């Protein structure tokens, strides 16, 4: 029997659409073993009723693709998933299944695939690299996919950073959320995003954390996505009024991250909590660190 642990991830971090991601201190665990025949999938934990326990299971699908690549298939398979990452909330639950499935399948056959080969397969399955790279490598990962090739740079998450994550009951699929994006964006919006995203990476790498506050604005995806759910729009509008500018939509949403790093900002944290608590729907707030 082999076991792997995979972190949740938050992608985009505001302006870094499809290229920035950070691993968070919230983990799924996957166990797998070869059995004589058949397929047994057991799921425990959060949102377990939403996770398929048949051949449609994403971990199983990702394991199959890995076995194809390795050129070996087990006679039968038992998989156990301990799920802690909320499903379809923008916290990389699919990436964790894909990366976890690839890692556990690779481990089952004594790890013939390198991390780079696992990354290539994970990006092929997920379609974009910003969740799967931090799920596989941990830390902050800047990744860029071009003509089928993914290049990335990974560095550690600054230990002062705190991710206050507001997670709504309502779900939003990445497919629906990507469907809200425009085919074209104004040139000035693209320019703003290039500047903000570059500044954000520089601030995260250099430790000049105060520069994060002015780096999280996005014009490529958030304005289109927050219109999909009323409370998202209300939260961002209210936060702007109260001068809280450290918020971003986690991945494709609907979860929201308030990113903070020092005690002086506690007053702002309280305001963020009050805004979330004032919403008519149910939201949970969890505080996470980087992985």
- Min. distance of Cβ 282 from ligand HSE in angstroms? 23
Contact track, ligand HSE, 96-115, x by CB under 6 A: --------------------
Among the listed residues 62, 83, 143, 174, the single contact to ligand HSE using CB under 6 A = 174
Q: Within 200-229, which residues bind ligand HSE (CB under 6 A)?
A: 221
Q: Within 117-156, which residues bind ligand HSE (CB under 6 A)?
A: 128, 130-131
Closest CA to 253 of 167, 191, 181: 167
Total binding residues toward ligand HSE, as defined by CB under 6 A: 12
Contact track, ligand HSE, 236-265, x by CB under 6 A: ---------------xx-------------
The rounded distance, in Å, linking the Cα atoms of 88 and 239 is: 24
The rounded distance, in Å, linking the Cα atoms of 14 and 18 is: 10
- Min. distance of Cβ 75 from ligand HSE in angstroms? 34
Among the listed residues 178, 211, 233, 289, the single contact to ligand HSE using CB under 6 A = 178
Q: Report the residue number, 2 or 87, with the smaller CB distance to ligand HSE.
A: 87
Q: Report the residue number, 219 or 221, with the smaller CB distance to ligand HSE.
A: 221
- Min. distance of Cβ 24 from ligand HSE in angstroms? 14
Q: Within 31-70, which residues bind ligand HSE (CB under 6 A)?
A: none
Q: Report the residue number, 120 or 265, with the smaller CB distance to ligand HSE.
A: 120
- Pick the piece of the chain touching ligand HSE (CB under 6 A) from 12-20, 51-59, 163-171, 255-263: 12-20
* CB-facing half-sphere around the CA of 120: CA atoms within 13 A: 9
User: 98, 122 in Cβ contact below 8 A?
Assistant: yes
**Long-range contacts (CB closer than 8 Å, 24 or more residues apart) made by 67-72:** 67/105, 67/109, 69/113, 69/117, 69/121, 70/105, 70/106, 70/109, 70/112, 70/113, 72/109
The rounded distance, in Å, linking the Cα atoms of 2 and 108 is: 6
Among the listed residues 4, 6, 8, 11, the single contact to ligand HSE using CB under 6 A = 11
Contact between 18 and ligand HSE by CB under 6 A: the answer reads yes
- Min. distance of Cβ 47 from ligand HSE in angstroms? 17
Contact between 74 and ligand HSE by CB under 6 A: the answer reads no
Give contact residues for ligand HSE (rule: CB under 6 A): 11-12, 17-18, 128, 130-131, 174, 178, 221, 251-252
């Amino acid at each position: 029997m082999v076991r792997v642990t995979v972190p949740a991830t938050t992608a985009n971090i505001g302006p870094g659409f499809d290229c920035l991601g950070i691993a968070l201190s919230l983990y799924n665990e996957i166990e797998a073993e070869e059995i004589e025949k058949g397929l047994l999938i057991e799921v425990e934990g959060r949102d377990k009723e939403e996770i398929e326990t048949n051949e449609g299971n994403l971990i199983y699908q990702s394991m199959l693709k890995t076995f194809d690549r390795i050129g070996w298939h087990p006679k039968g398979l038992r998989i156990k998933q301990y799920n802690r990452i909320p499903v379809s909330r923008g916290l990389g639950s699919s990436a964790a299944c894909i990366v976890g499935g690839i890692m556990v399948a690779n481990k089952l056959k004594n790890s013939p695939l390198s991390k780079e080969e696992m990354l290539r397969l994970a990006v092929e399955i997920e379609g974009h690299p910003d969740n799967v790279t931090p799920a596989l490598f941990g830390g902050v990962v800047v990744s860029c996919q071009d003509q089928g090739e993914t290049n990335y740079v990974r560095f550690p998450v600054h230990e002062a950073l705190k991710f206050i994550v507001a997670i709504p009951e309502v779900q939003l699929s990445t497919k629906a959320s990507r469907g809200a994006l425009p085919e074209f964006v104004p040139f000035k919006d693209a320019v703003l995003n290039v500047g903000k995203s570059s500044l954000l990476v520089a601030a995260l790498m250099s430790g000049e954390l105060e520069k994060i506050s002015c780096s999280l604005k996005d014009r490529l995806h958030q304005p289109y996505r927050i219109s999909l759910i009323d409370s998202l729009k209300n939260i961002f509008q209210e936060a702007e009024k109260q001068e809280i500018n450290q918020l971003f939509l986690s991945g494709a949403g609907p979860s929201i991250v308030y990113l903070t790093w020092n005690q002086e900002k506690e007053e702002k944290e309280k305001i963020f909590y009050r805004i979330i608590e004032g919403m008519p729907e149910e939201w949970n707030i969890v505080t996470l660190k980087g992985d």
